[in-house]
A and B are shown apart, each in its own frame.
Chain A
Amino acid sequence: MSEPGRHEWPLFEVFVRAKRGLNHVHVGSLRAADHDMALHHARDLYTRRNEGVSIWVVRSDDVVASAPAEKESFFEPSGDKIYRHPTHYTIPGSVPHI
């Protein structure tokens, strides 16, 4: 905050749904005074060529993220649960459609 008045536009993360049937996907960020302006800027910045049919904007400081340093303790417990995968189960080849 070295120059007053400069920093009052917060950062927003932008998510775009490319077409019906797809999830919104994170495309980048932008600065705007408020949510309405963020939506308009996102429209101009990230969908100049029909890249989207719907936009979400979220204040960046409202995003809670997992820490890369805790990646192991956070994600690895799912690694040893092989029974969560369909290939864990042996079914005779003679049984159809399974």
Chain B
Amino acid sequence: MTMEAELSDDERTFHRTIERDQRVEPRDWMPEGYRKTMIRQIAQHAHSEIIGMQPEGEWITRAPSLRRKAILLAKVQDEAGHGLYLYSAAETLGADRADLTRRLIEGRQKYSSIFNYPTLSFADVGVIGWLVDGAAICNQVPLCRSSYGPYGRAMIRICKEESFHQRQGYELLMTMMGGTTQQREMVQDAVTRWWWPSLMMFGPPDDRSPNSAQSMAWKIKRHSNDELRQRFVDMTVPQAEALGVTLPDPALTWNAGRGHYDFGEPDWSELTRVISGDGPCNALRIARRRQADEEGAWVREAAAAHAAKRQHAHREEAA
């Protein structure tokens, strides 16, 4: 109660909005920390969608059929869309998307560690849809209720589209599992490589996740990293059985007492390494993003010049 008395009207309104599970909207007053955290999280999320186009995009020209090519193209295009919805949300907080892109390219902002792994065969496309998009769905569904309005609304749009991503991946894998021995081996190999990095997508364990408590208090985040990881494992194990693949974790067993699967500890030193820039593809991903930005510069400039010229001509006509 004494705390309450020391708060300004603005702060009180903000806390009441959060408490009542209402949404904070762009022009509302908000603590600087909330704004910063929100921009950082949304930007990091947007960057992940954009960088995430690369590992799968590499397979568009090598897809085994026209149908698979069309599906993959649509999926990668969706990821571009997700990035843009999120940059749009970040701009409502006063961020500027060109500036955010610059921060990404200069390594000042991060993106999900998962996209720093290579896609070695076409089975990887299926496994990414199934596991990586599957983990993303687990993370993102609760974010639809995030306290920042534009972020929650972007997440609703994104979640609607993710379901197609996961299903096309799983269907692709089912098709391959019904194929030759070699195809089945490709699927198993891809599952073995992507399983642990997928579990790391939920972030470090709760006792080593310093920013989580504040994000939970602000209702930016609704569940802890470990809760979401457990949910993902519980969802995925029966899907792996139906597919006929083995998840590479000897500790993975049903625990009837807990009503959950027990599973092994991911190698957290690997996550730290990949996040800090030392994954198999970090340099490649950023170099590619930088190249796209630089090679697109003349197009942006030409379009702006064209628009300015047209506006000028329009004004002359009106005069």
Residues of A within 8 A of B (CB): 2-3, 5-9, 11, 27-31, 33-34, 37, 44-45, 48-49, 65, 67-69
Taking a contact as CB atoms under 8 Å apart, the answer to whether B91 and A9 are in contact is no
Q: Which of A6, A37, A45 has the most CB of B within 10 A?
A: A6
The verdict on A5 contacting B303 (CB below 8 Å), with A31-B97, A45-B84 known, is no
* Contact sample, A vs B, 22 pairs, CB 8 Å cutoff: A3-B102, A5-B301, A5-B304, A6-B300, A7-B98, A8-B300, A9-B304, A27-B157, A28-B85, A29-B92, A30-B84, A33-B304, A33-B306, A33-B307, A34-B307, A34-B311, A44-B81, A48-B74, A49-B161, A65-B27, A68-B28, A69-B29
Rounded to whole angstroms, the CA-CA distance of A45 and B97 in the bound complex is: 16
Rounded to whole angstroms, the CA-CA distance of A31 and B100 in the bound complex is: 14
The verdict on A45 contacting B81 (CB below 8 Å), with A5-B301, A6-B98, A11-B91 known, is yes
Taking a contact as CB atoms under 8 Å apart, the answer to whether B81 and A5 are in contact is no
Give the interface residue-count category, chain B.
Answer: 20 to 34
Taking a contact as CB atoms under 8 Å apart, the answer to whether A48 and B78 are in contact is yes
Rounded to whole angstroms, the CA-CA distance of A5 and B157 in the bound complex is: 31
Taking a contact as CB atoms under 8 Å apart, the answer to whether B98 and A3 are in contact is yes
Taking a contact as CB atoms under 8 Å apart, the answer to whether A37 and B303 are in contact is yes
The verdict on A34 contacting B27 (CB below 8 Å), with A2-B99, A45-B81, A48-B81 known, is no
Rounded to whole angstroms, the CA-CA distance of A7 and B77 in the bound complex is: 24
Closest A residue to B27 by CB, please name it. Answer: A68
Closest Cβ of chain A: how far from B212's Cβ, in Å? 28
Taking a contact as CB atoms under 8 Å apart, the answer to whether B85 and A9 are in contact is no
Interface residues of B in 17-69 (CB under 8 A from A): 25, 27-29
The majority secondary structure among interface residues of chain B is helix
Interface residues of B in 277-319 (CB under 8 A from A): 297, 300-301, 303-304, 306-308, 310-311
Using Cβ atoms and an 8 Å threshold, which residues of chain B touch A34? 303, 306-307, 310-311
Taking a contact as CB atoms under 8 Å apart, the answer to whether A9 and B300 are in contact is yes
Using Cβ atoms and an 8 Å threshold, which residues of chain B touch A37? 303, 307
Rounded to whole angstroms, the CA-CA distance of A5 and B102 in the bound complex is: 14
Closest A residue to B96 by CB, please name it. Answer: A7
Taking a contact as CB atoms under 8 Å apart, the answer to whether B29 and A5 are in contact is no
Using Cβ atoms and an 8 Å threshold, which residues of chain B touch A68? 25, 27-29
Rounded to whole angstroms, the CA-CA distance of A9 and B306 in the bound complex is: 11
Closest Cβ of chain A: how far from B45's Cβ, in Å? 15
Closest Cβ of chain B: how far from A50's Cβ, in Å? 12
Closest Cβ of chain B: how far from A5's Cβ, in Å? 5
Closest Cβ of chain B: how far from A91's Cβ, in Å? 36
Residue B154, interface by CB 8 Å: yes
Smallest CB-CB A-B distances: 6 pairs: A8-B304, A34-B307, A33-B303, A33-B307, A28-B88, A29-B88
Taking a contact as CB atoms under 8 Å apart, the answer to whether A5 and B88 are in contact is no
Rounded to whole angstroms, the CA-CA distance of A11 and B77 in the bound complex is: 21
18 additional A-B residue pairs with CB within 8 Å, beyond A7-B98, A68-B28 = A3-B102, A6-B98, A6-B300, A7-B96, A8-B304, A8-B308, A9-B303, A9-B304, A28-B150, A31-B97, A33-B306, A34-B307, A34-B310, A37-B303, A45-B81, A49-B161, A65-B27, A68-B25
Using Cβ atoms and an 8 Å threshold, which residues of chain A touch B77? 48
Rounded to whole angstroms, the CA-CA distance of A85 and B161 in the bound complex is: 41
The verdict on A67 contacting B27 (CB below 8 Å), with A5-B297, A9-B304, A33-B303 known, is yes
Rounded to whole angstroms, the CA-CA distance of A5 and B304 in the bound complex is: 8
Closest Cβ of chain B: how far from A48's Cβ, in Å? 7
Using Cβ atoms and an 8 Å threshold, which residues of chain B touch A67? 27
* Partner pick for B154 among A2, A3, A28, A44, CB 8 A cutoff: A28
Rounded to whole angstroms, the CA-CA distance of A6 and B91 in the bound complex is: 15
Closest B residue to A67 by CB, please name it. Answer: B27
Closest Cβ of chain B: how far from A7's Cβ, in Å? 6
